[in-house]
Homo-oligomer: A and B are copies of this chain.
Amino acid sequence: MAIAIKDISVKDIRFPTSRNLDGSDAMNAISDYSATYVTLITDREDLKGYGLTFTIGRGNDLCVSAVKSLAELFVIGRTLEEITANFGQFWHELVSGDCQLRWVGPEKGVIHLATAAIINALWDLWARSENKTVWKLLVDMKPEEVVKCIDFTYITDVLTPEEALTLLRRVESGKAQREQEMFEYGFPGYTTAAGWLGYSEEKMRQLARQAVADGWTHLKQKVGADLEQDMRRAAILREELGWDRKLMMDANQIWGVDQAIAAMRKLAQFDPLWIEEPTSPDDILGHAAIKARIGDIGIATGEHAHNRVMFKQFFQAGAMDFCQLDPARLGGLNEVLAVVLMAAKFGVPVCPHGGGVGLCQYSLNIVLFDYIAVSASLENRVLEYVDHLHENFEEPLVIKRGRYYPLQQPGYGVKMKAQTLLDYSWPDGREWLN
């Protein structure tokens, strides 16, 4: 029996994270971590799909409106089966089928963030209907089935469906073993918990010490507001981490190309594994220029790269050493699959963005699929962990000694608790009325 999508509910959920300066960095000083939260309502009482897109406060209302416009045109009244039967084609229709809504993107900004919430809710619904997690649904697919979920528009010059098939088949035989390995040993993570710019140096040191005690081997520091301060903080972090653990740095787009080069030459003494978002997220050639001039520090970027065409070029230009795709900035999982496969072709490790509400959950599904079914490698792969707000989701994340363990409840992992939806609804939830 086909599952019909009868309606959609979209909520504007905002958490007052700015009160504690959680999430503060050089670009984003006062963020209220937020979600455009989508529930797909079906004709089955016991089956719904849950998805979200991540924003940091104001502007979330725009994404809510955009979701409603897209859903009305393309989702409500369809069946899950007709959508998933040719999911790549459906995705194409959603992003290009209405030229009027496409115009205010195209495939970027508000309209693409909205696309992500819808698409990810559809994946959640699909996985729930199969009683699987999203990562397991993907891992169990035949290569042909994965490829059918991808819209290859604008990327066939670097990746054809046939090449994608070849990449997936290459590692097919080891899938069961790697899946088992993930349950036993988990996937390596890193933490940004100590590194926010708004925290005092003393608080940072204590959190870093705690992180080391908790078994984290990789820690990320926010930089870019003040170079002297960055160096002082890096020195503190190195004191706590030693030199065997990895230190990453994140500038959150604050620099121009020349500034980035100058700053990283000073910060190189602290041996960062990568510099993240050193300049404008749109500046592919700028990232390539920075990379060429800062020695062997890796370039990490992607959380603001808005679609597969941007990633294609970052790969072509050799301007991205760590692929930090964002599961909700890209137009949902279908587009993520395209980027994961291009990354595999170019040998770039995928380390998705986790710094936001629900992003760790999404990204965990993605890295499990990438490791088990695409890259078959853990080299240079680490998944960001940000430790706040997880209590709002029904399924807890399992982190032990700096490693993530597979999600196990059916779906994509971002279903929020009913109380959270009541308390943090904006502007009328209890937390905002107070």
Contacts and interface: CB of A to CB of B under 8 A. Distances in A.
B69 A59 contact: yes
A284 B283 contact: no
A313 B154 contact: no
A317 to B, nearest CB: 7
Interface string A19-43: 0000000011111100000000000
B105 A279 contact: no
Interface in A253-283: 253, 256-258, 279-283
B286 A154 contact: yes
Contacts of A257: 154, 156-157
Contacts of A280: 107, 154, 309
Interface of A: 27-32, 55-63, 65-66, 69, 96, 98-113, 153-157, 253, 256-258, 279-286, 289, 304, 306-307, 309-310, 312-313, 316-317
A59 B100 contact: yes
B111 A59 contact: yes
Contacts of A283: 154, 309, 312-313
A210 B150 CA distance: 46
A96 B252 CA distance: 12
Given A106-B281, A154-B256, A154-B280, 19 more contacts: A27-B99, A56-B100, A59-B66, A59-B100, A59-B111, A61-B69, A62-B66, A62-B104, A63-B104, A65-B65, A66-B110, A106-B253, A154-B257, A154-B279, A282-B306, A282-B307, A284-B285, A284-B313, A285-B312
A56 B99 contact: yes
A28 B156 CA distance: 22
A31 B111 CA distance: 17
